[in-house]
Structure 1
Amino acid sequence: MNIFDRKINFDALLKFSHITPSTQQHLKKVYASFALCMFVAAAGAYVHVVTRFIQAGLLSALGALALMICLMATPHSHETEQKRLGLLAGFAFLTGVGLGPALELCIAINPSILPTAFMGTAMIFTCFSLSALYARRRSYLFLGGILMSAMSLMFVSSLGNLFFGSIWLFQANLYMGLLVMCGFVLFDTQLIIEKAEHGDKDYICTQSSGFVPQGD
């Protein structure tokens, strides 16, 4: 039998039988709001780098923090959905403005860094998100404690490196941070699914604090 004669059912790649239809709709809203934040943040970075209409600094950071606090304080309901989306978009815009100086530095060193970083990040996010979606439910939730411990270790080592100035410790933190962020994609994706299965359909502001998975 020639294996190359077999037909590949590409529709099966988009079917997640272990995820309920309502949760799949919730995931679509989550990724749609995420895409919105990316575009708005890119617009904020463009405003800083090209037009210089808004400068990054303390005011943009405080503004982003204030919008985040307002978003967290606004209750989730159908009536407040548009308001919360606006707060989220404002937070993303000011965050993009805050990234302006870093983008300017990358452009000054090598402009090809930006598209390379974007493509690499998009590929990593897509691959690890699909891995979490196709995996068995809750199979990656155990990573939560490990990832938070790794974040604490990175924070302490970064503070210590302010005094040591070790390039090796800097490189270790850099690559460890990449691994931790990949792990968070797996963990957060399955956490969003699990929370949605238990009735939390807040796609604008998903929080993981205080959530304890329950039995089926």
Structure 2
Amino acid sequence: MVDTSGLIWPIQRRDDFFRIVAYIILATALIFVIDVITPLGVMIWILYLIPLFLTVYLSWKYAPLVMTGVFILIMAVSLFMSPRDISIEYALIDRVFFALILIVTSIFIENYVSNVECLAMNEERYRHLIEWLPEGIIVYQQGRIAYINPAGIRLLGSDRKDDLIGRDIIDMIDPGFRKLFLERVAQAALGARMDIDTVQLIRQDGSEMSIGMFLGTIFWDNGSAVQIVMRNA
């Protein structure tokens, strides 16, 4: 089964979605009421950016554009309801100007959400692929095993992923090979593609075996990590 715990999409549960929608509706209604009872104009409209940015946390990439349309409609309604200390022509120009700001902002947000969605999909495909590879794959991040595929679990002599996630693989490497391993990891973290012909591994079941390693940097869970490919030497 594919482990998607590292996917970075902001909304994970239906309850989260409805809570964010409630925040957006509440904030929009409050801003509209303030706009209707005060003649502050742009000083109030700028608050619409708050619910607009909240749409980032929804799982629908068109939410920013839809909400921008709603805000523009509300601003048009408030043109006839809120008190004015300027002529209607200037009030209309102000609203058109700020509507353009909202449109540009929503486009940037929509592009960001699309990029996040694409990244999450690519990471899911990658995880699905490496789950079935015969080589052992480890994602080594901040000195800990952040991910290991089933072949890697078997190679390290374990039956459960939970026994390995969070551990430092250096503890399972023979002391005579640790310095070489750390040097290769440091070089791989800088972007180099490294390999180690032979590493003596102390497996979870106490047995020892020689493996080869190929190391390279990858992006994982919003940060840089080193991918380690292991195979029998």
Indicate the TM-score class for this superposition, using the shorter chain for normalisation: under 0.3
- Larger Rg computed on CA atoms: 2
Please identify which structure carries the higher helix content. Answer: 1
**Which of the pair has the greater relative contact order for Cα pairs under 8 Å at 6+ separation?**
1
Question: Normalising to structure 1: TM-score of the pair?
Answer: 0.23
TM-score when normalising by structure 2: 0.22
